Structure 1
Amino acid sequence: MFIHSGITETIGRTPVVRLRRLAPGGGLYAKLESANPGGSVKDRMALAMIEAAERSGALRPGQTVVEASSGNTGIALAMVCAARGYPLVVVMGEQFSVERRRLMRFLGARVVLTPAHLKGSGMVDKARELAETHGWFWCRQFENQANAEVHERHTGPEIAAAFAGRRLDYVVLGAGTGGSLRGIGRALRRLRPDTRIVVAEPDNAPLLAGGRPQPSQGSHPDFRPHPMQGWTPDFIPLHTAAALTEDLVYRILPVSGEQALAGSRDLARREGILAGITAGASVAAGLRLLDEQPDAEVLCLLPDTGERYLSMPLFDDIGQDMDAEEWAISRSSPGARFDAPTPGAATSAAAAAATPAPTPVDEPALRWFEAAVRDPRQPVVAFTLAWCEFSWSLRKLFEHIGLPYRAVDLDAPALRQAGLDLPLRALLHIRTGQPTLPQVFIGGQHLGGCTETMAAFRSGELARRVTAAGLDAGAWPALEPEQFLPRWRQRRETVA
């Protein structure tokens, strides 16, 4: 133990932990990048980019730094800039978790939000525009060479040192900006040529597995919303493309959103490791490798901590009030209870309380669509995306009022494999006049998207349509449907 001269000296040298309960019969390990002082692997890159800019003279004392980030890079830069005395502006899509923007602001950064439908590329465009307008230093994390170099100099060698004299068959990680992928891949090719790099990728956004090139402008055609923040933006970054060109990637494994969420929860409840959704995705891919090769030795890179996902689906089933079991525990002894007086004290009054352009419709898609929306057994059909927040909002409303419905996830791997995903989206665009999802049909007739459906619930139109389709709408509870909208939409920031 010794005294560091500043917080940035504590970045790196993160621990490797064996996951004994998740893989009791196999060699599954995790490198905990949450042990960095800013809570994520992005601390390494943030410091490297700032130091490289200082050395080159691109960043002057007191100059404002600007960067686009879904959160972890922004938090890391906020920490480094606070320690080095640079003002920071982070450009962030409004759809990303509220905790992240609050952490950045707490560290002194300014956070400029961009509309959700512009996706990751919209954030990057705004950061570029702000840098050009004000003369700020733009980090360019997706193409900055310091991003990959820091992982080649430090993260990769740390992995090699941890497994010195031991087998290490696979390292599993996500692509993200491509910096850790490219840097670790280069280092291990030199230091551990026996170790192979496996990239985990959202199964509904197969930008790498699909093999289609990145367009010169706009989003990649295979991008769909997914819950793995920081992984797979709506474009293929320079470092990621270079890692593929340099043949650093042995295999690409698809991971579903459900698997990623389950992996994160298992890390917490079975290993005591608080980690994010991308960490759960890495572990899910690692377990799949062990299923295929039980004697393998697998290291998963866990990019961040779980606390910055409190407002995301990862914590949807985690309540802040006591549940029935906790109330029973409370009542199992007489003291300090909400529902009984405490001797010598007053009685407590508390109680439990993004879209492809339309194309000509092909006949298979038309037949599939007509069969779905005109099925009398399921008159309510919602065309959705599995990880679109407005699709979640619609599901929550329908489930809360007990409305039976069929959800057709247009980014489901089965539809994509059948070649129906894009034709169905094009058909929906033509039929509804709207390029967005979700879209709801009742009894074969179009009702509208998420907000239109909520307005129809308030006005009684939804109940009338449902009743006409032969379903019972008589027992629906009275509620404000907007409570199911994403929190960032409920609390949209306004211009002063």
Structure 2
Amino acid sequence: MPQLSPATPRLSVPVHDHITDAMKAPAFLRLSENVVLARFETMKVYAALGAVRELLERGRVVPGQTLVDSSSGIYALALAMACHRYGLRCHIVASTTVDATMRAQLEVLGATVDQMPPSQSLRLDQERRVRHVRQLLDARPDFHWMRQYHDGVHHTGYRELAALAAAALPGEDLTVVGTVGTGASTGGLTRALRADGRSEGRTVRLVGIQPFGSVTFGSEGFSDPDAIIAGIGSSIPFGNVRHELYDTVHWLDFRHAMAGSVALLRRHAVFAGLSTGAAHLVAAWEAARDPHRTHLVLGADTGHRYAERVFARHTEASDPSALKPERIDELSELRPPWAVMEWAGRPAPPNAVVPSDLLAPESEAGR
């Protein structure tokens, strides 16, 4: 067997104690001179792990207790793995969109699953899930409702990601580009980066991305039949979206997000989800107009869930270089297929304000 030469560098390779540590680690990939992709297998592991650790440390939950929440899939898996790691039980009220593969993973991990019946309306699906969770809590008051949409404890895990991003891109002025979804990833990351940046003199901008049909930033009056809205926008208000953090908002239809996803695979061999494709398209446009800032694209998950609806249709994808947004100054000017507005820290639109009964005291965690 050949011996290692003394000149051969010895690499320090971590051996993880649990799969969640390996899954949450991002790969940073430079897509262009001022665009860097943070690519994840599933970014929501940060939200779930951070929340569960914080709740355990504060005594809000105890080992052996059951954590329950509603999910369209990715958060459910992250929460089930966090419960697996910390000796907690997990109960998922699953969207009708959760497929057999995802459900099997959840059940093998020990989670129990209640899945909603088929629905043509995302709003109806989300409302059914929330109603079912409340029924469970009435019957089992010992359950802890994680409230991934509303409890600010889900922001806390992204402090670790902020430290990694700051180390990978030291001293650079940053523009974070990502789909809004529940608001935890873009909000938690940006708040942590801004807090750190104040000591280093670095500025951090936040560009959020929404689909048409989402209430979060006022596009609920539009319909995009092809859109896979879950995880990118919402038909109900989310308390974890801190509207005042966002500098710019883009609204994209499905075909524009698809163009970004296919281009990312074609040009950079990165197989990522629809939200990453949307962020890739937006970041390229933003970076061309602000070349002195580094644009950090959040690549939340892989492309496997979108194989048929996006990648199998790759011949239909538009050339991103031929696409551009319509600039607007007010929400009344909003129109598909792609619009951009300087949000400049505006408050939530009226329909995105969360009812006070959903903002329980623990929702102040992480704010």
Indicate how the Cα distance of structure 1 residues 208 and 291 shifts in structure 2: closer, same or farther if over 3 A, else same: farther
SS in 1 for 2:248: strand
- What's 1:280 paired with? 277
Q: Please name the residue that 2:46 is paired with.
A: 44
- Secondary structure of the residue that 1:313 maps to in structure 2? coil
In the TM superposition, residue 10 of structure 1 has moved relative to its aligned partner by 3.6
Q: Compared with structure 1, are the counterparts of its residues 149 and 85 closer, same or farther at alpha carbon in structure 2 (3 Å cutoff)?
A: closer
Alignment match of 2:264 (pick from 256, 263, 267): 267
Counterparts of 2:238 and 2:224 in 1: how far apart (Å)? Answer: 16
Aligned length: 298
* Residue 72 of structure 2 corresponds to residue 86 of structure 1: no
Q: Residue 413 in 1 paired to residue 335 in 2?
A: yes
| Equivalence for 2:31 | 19
From 200, 203, 206, the equivalent of 1:197 is 206
Q: Specify whether residues 98 and 292 from structure 1 end up closer, same or farther in structure 2 by C-alpha distance, changes over 3 A only.
A: farther
Counterpart of 1:41, as a letter, is M
* Alignment correspondent of 1:289: 286
TM-score (norm 2): 0.73
SS in 2 for 1:176: coil
Which of 301, 305, 314 does residue 304 from structure 1 map onto? 301
Structure 1 unmatched ranges of 5 or more: 21-25, 35-39, 212-219, 319-411, 418-496
1:13–1:158 contact (8 Å) kept in structure 2: no
**Higher RCO, 1 vs 2 (CA within 8 Å, ≥6 residues apart):** 2
The alpha-carbon deviation at position 308 of structure 1 amounts to 2.9
User: What secondary structure is seen at the aligned counterpart in 1 of 2:76?
Assistant: helix
Residues 53 and 289 (structure 1 numbering): CA distance in 2 closer, same or farther, change over 3 Å?
A: same
Q: Aligned-pair distance for 1:229?
A: 3.2
Pick from 186, 209, 215: which aligns with 1:207?
Answer: 215
Contact 1:260 1:278 (C-alpha < 8 Å) held by counterparts = yes
Q: Partner residue of 1:227?
A: 228
Amino acid at match of 1:227: I
* Contact 1:71 1:230 (C-alpha < 8 Å) held by counterparts: no
Q: CA RMSD of the aligned region, Å?
A: 2.8
1:319-356 Cα offsets, whole Å, 9 max, x none, are xxxxxxxxxxxxxxxxxxxxxxxxxxxxxxxxxxxxxx
Flag the 1:223–1:58 CA change in 2: closer, same or farther, 3 A.
farther
Answer whether contact 1:97 1:308 (CA < 8 A) is retained. no
Q: Is the Cα–Cα contact under 8 Å of residues 273 and 302 in structure 2 kept in the other structure?
A: yes
Deviation of 1:66 (Å): 1.2
Residue 12 of structure 1, CA deviation: 4.1
Deviation, 1:414, is 5.4
Q: Is the 8 A contact 2:216 2:236 kept in 1?
A: no
What secondary structure does 1:58 align onto?
coil
Is 1:199–1:253's contact at 8 Å kept on the other side of the alignment? yes
Deviation at 1:307, TM superposition (A): 1.8
The 5 Å alignment of 1:323-342 reads none
Q: Cα distance, 1:187 vs. partner? A: 1.5
Deviation per CA, 1:198-226: give whole Å up to 9, x if none.
00111x22534438xxxxxxxx6667662
What is the TM-score when the length of structure 1 is the normalising length? 0.55
- 3-state SS in 2 of match to 1:210: coil
CA distance, structure 1, for counterparts of residue 276 and residue 337 of structure 2:
27
State the match for 2:17 in structure 1.
Answer: 5
Q: Is the 8 A contact 1:229 1:278 kept in 2?
A: no
Distance 1:2 1:148, change over 3 A: closer
Letter in structure 2 aligned against 1:413: R
- 2:90/2:111 contact within 8 Å kept: yes
Asked if 2 retains the 8 angstrom alpha-carbon contact of 1:255 and 1:284, the reply is no
Which residue type is aligned with residue 272 of structure 1? A
> Cα offset for 1:281?
0.9
Say if 1:56 and 1:188 are closer, same or farther in 2 by CA, change over 3 A: closer
Bigger Rg, structure 1 or 2: 1
Q: Secondary structure at the match of 2:37?
A: strand
Partner secondary structure for residue 275 of structure 1: coil
Aligned: 1:145 with 2:152: yes
Residue 98 of structure 1: CA displacement? 4.3
